[in-house]
Amino acid sequence: MTLVHIVLFKFRPEITEEHKQRFVTELKKLKSLPCVKSGRLLVGGPSVTDPIDRSKGFQIALVSYHENLAALTEYQASQEHHHVTSTYMFPYKEDLVRFDFEVEEEDEYMCEFPVLG
C-alpha cells in the first residue's frame, strides 16, 4: 500500500521570500527519512495555476509518499519534521491544508519506484 501526503502552505504577508526559501530548503531534507517511501518527497511553488486565485493564496506545496499510515505517523513524529515545522512554519503561517489518502490497489503500480543508486 502507498499513502500520499499533501500539504499546502500559506505564510503571513510580512514573511520574507528568504524565509520561505529557507523553509523549502529544510523541507526537502525530509526526503532522507526512512519513513519516506523511496525518498519521494516533492516541494514546489509558487503556483502556476491560471487564474492564480484558484490557488487560494497558498504559496508552497509538499507531496510525499509513505508505505502506510504507520510510516506517515513516524514521519510526522520525527525530530526532523518537528524542527522544520516548529522553526520555519508554524510561527509564520497564515494557513495550512493537509490531505492524506491511500492509493487504491489498482493504481498502486503508479507508486512503484525504481531503486535509485
Interval 58-117: pLDDT, tens: 999 999 999 999 999 999 999 999 999 999 999 999 999 999 999 999 998 888 866 655
Per DSSP, what are the bridge partners of residue 66?
A: 3
Write down the pTM of the prediction: 0.92
pLDDT value at residue 116 = 59
Query: Is the domain 3-101 a CATH 3.30.70.100 member?
Result: yes
Residue closest to 3 by CA, chosen among 52, 82, 61, 75: 75
pLDDT value at residue 111 = 86
- Rounded to whole angstroms, how far apart are CA atoms 81 and 74? 10
Domain residues of the chain, as ranges? 3-101
R_g of the chain, CA atoms, integer Å: 15
